[in-house]
Chains A and B, each alone.
Chain A
Amino acid sequence: MELLITVTLFAFLIWMAVVIGRQRDLFSASMLTGIFSLICAGLFTVMDAVDVAFTEAAVGAGISTVLFLATLALTDERERRPEHTPLAAIGVVALTGAALVYGTLDMPAYGDPSAPVHTGVARHYMERSWDEIGLPNIVTGVLASYRGFDTFGELGVIFTAGIGVSLLLSAGTPELTPGAPPPPPKSRAPYVREMPILRTVSKALMPYILLFALYVQAHGDFGPGGGFQAGVIFTAALILYGLIWGPSAVEAFARRRLVERATAVGLLIYGGVGVTTLTLGHSFLDYSALSPEHPQHGQHWGIFVVELGVGITVSAVMLVIYYVFASRPKKDVSPMRQPLPLLGGACVGDVSTEDAEADS
Chain B
Amino acid sequence: MNLVFGAAAMGLLVTMALAMFRATVGPSAYDRISALNAFGTKTVLLIAVLGFLSGRPEWLDLALVYGLCNFVGTLAVLRFSKYGSLAKDELASAEDEP
Contacts and interface: CB of A to CB of B under 8 A. Distances in A.
Query: Are A and B genuine complex partners?
Result: yes
Interface in A221-253: 223-225, 229, 233, 236-237, 239-240, 242-249
B23 A31 contact: yes
A166 B80 CA distance: 22
Contacts of A170: none
Contacts of A32: 23-24, 32
Given A192-B90, A246-B89, A330-B85, A54 B65 contact: yes
A66 B62 contact: no
A203 interface: no
Interface stretch (A1-9, A122-130, A143-151, A294-302): A1-9
Interface string B60-91: 01101110111111011101111111111111
Given A65-B77, A243-B79, A12 B93 contact: no
A35 B65 contact: no
A192 to B, nearest CB: 5
A55 to B, nearest CB: 9
B23, B35, B72, B79, most chain A CB atoms within 10 A? B72
A73 B43 contact: no
B94 A193 contact: yes
Interface string A45-63: 1101010011001101110
Nearest to A325: B86
B65 A5 contact: no
Interface of A: 1-2, 4-5, 8-9, 12, 15-16, 19, 25, 27-28, 31-32, 34-35, 38-39, 41-42, 45-46, 48, 50, 53-54, 57-58, 60-62, 65-66, 69-70, 72-74, 182, 184-193, 198, 202, 205, 209, 212, 215-216, 219, 223-225, 229, 233, 236-237, 239-240, 242-249, 325-330, 342-347, 351
The 5 closest A-B CB pairs, nearest first, are A62-B69, A246-B89, A61-B69, A65-B73, A346-B28
